[in-house]
Structure 1
């Protein structure tokens, strides 16, 4: 991706941005390369059947007491209809199963592994680093909550979309 793609006078949303592509995780054609190409083009993709419904039900059960105990955001960033759960890997083994989903991990590695080439004396060396989990949060949006527009969550890193991808989100419903 070149940065000029993101700073043109082109109308937004583009044709690619008017609807989100849907694929099925159990379709043999759905692999990390396909998902990467869709994410590069559109910025989002819906992957149905990524994890079993039973796993989602267990995550919901695990996180319910945390959501129920959440207090309104004192800064006012989140509306009172949005309940938050932090540190969910420590509180929900089912959430950990979601994070290590093979297809999700493959996409993350393809898109977020960083590579750097440097010289050590007369020898050229290349090193790479696989992605690391920086944060995981659960949200429960209750009735009356306002839908957020589709947006990127990587602005805290101060990179342009094309400099280097720094985040990959997995919203599970």
Structure 2
């Protein structure tokens, strides 16, 4: 009888290379003290406020009838910037996803590095009594096949806003399942809880089987998840509608681009104006973007 591999936990001072090495081997890794105390407390306050406006699911085992969910987090939570720009998360995502691919342009062999983008955000509160979520792969959103494509499409994070324990519904993960083909069915007996303290984080890839656990305690388990995806797939959450223009303009340049306001070497995301193809960030940097995109009428 073979035992299920354990999830490795790394200290806050780990290197990007260490994080990537373990993720590519095991499918995921836990990072201790991912957020410092000040950032964590502010994010927790913002997340609590977002969840307070949410409602329980209906009869869907996947969404959860005793689970609250809130998205549009870059519109609601200033501290989401700390999560996406964290050097270990963004650094690992870039290293895993931005592997160059060589293509022919005529007789010239050219390497292209794909963009990455924020695909989705969600706060998840698993309340007492919630049962197991079905095990799944998050790259199912893209109908990704395994191992056909030979590359990952998503690097996901789950930041613990409360302690994650086996008893309160910690995310369950099957280490090594990112190497399975699509014919193998995941079993709950193969999964283990990603136990971690509040402020720590689980980073895993889209091909790793996982799911929310059962909450057998009298208190909710709260986590914040976000995905960084290849720029060649559609964003799961429509960030152009989720983040108001005024809020978008106040975000750091790198976050604006990660939210989709960028265009890649493979011509994804451009915008035509004046007969030329432009990077949408050029319009975002200008003050006339609402008029340029036809969002409001020009006063001319």
Identify the match of residue 81 of structure 1 among 56, 61, 66.
Answer: 66
Q: Residue 18 of structure 1 aligns with which residue?
A: 5
TM-score by length of structure 1 reads 0.80
Q: Residue 102 of structure 2 aligns with which residue?
A: 117
The answer to whether the aligner puts 1:53 opposite 2:50 as a matched pair is no
Q: Does the CA-based 8 Å contact 2:59-2:65 persist in structure 1?
A: no
Q: SS of the counterpart of 1:139? A: strand
Q: Does the CA-based 8 Å contact 1:20-1:45 persist in structure 2?
A: yes
**More strand as a share of residues:** 2
| CA RMSD, 1 decimal | 2.2
**More helix as a share of residues:** 1
Q: Does the CA-based 8 Å contact 1:114-1:130 persist in structure 2?
A: no
Q: How many aligned positions are there?
A: 157
Identify the match of residue 97 of structure 1 among 82, 106, 112.
Answer: 82
Q: SS of the counterpart of 1:37? A: helix
The answer to whether the aligner puts 1:140 opposite 2:164 as a matched pair is no
Instruction: List runs of 5+ in structure 1 lacking aligned partners.
Output: 1-10
Give the deviation of 1:137 after TM superposition: 1.1
What does residue range 64-79 of structure 1 map to in structure 2 within 5 Å?
64-74=48-58, 76=60, 77-79=62-64
Give the deviation of 1:151 after TM superposition: 4.8
Give the deviation of 1:147 after TM superposition: 4.8
Q: Deviation digits for residues 87-107 of structure 1, max 9, x if unmatched?
A: 001110111211111111110
CA distance in 2, matches of 1:147, 1:55: 30
Identify the match of residue 116 of structure 2 among 120, 123, 131.
Answer: 131
CA distance in 2, matches of 1:104, 1:25: 11
Q: Does the CA-based 8 Å contact 2:98-2:113 persist in structure 1?
A: yes
TM-score by length of structure 2 reads 0.48
* CA shift in 2, pair 1:22/1:141, >3 Å: same
Instruction: List runs of 5+ in structure 2 lacking aligned partners.
Output: 161-300
Structure of greater Rg: 2
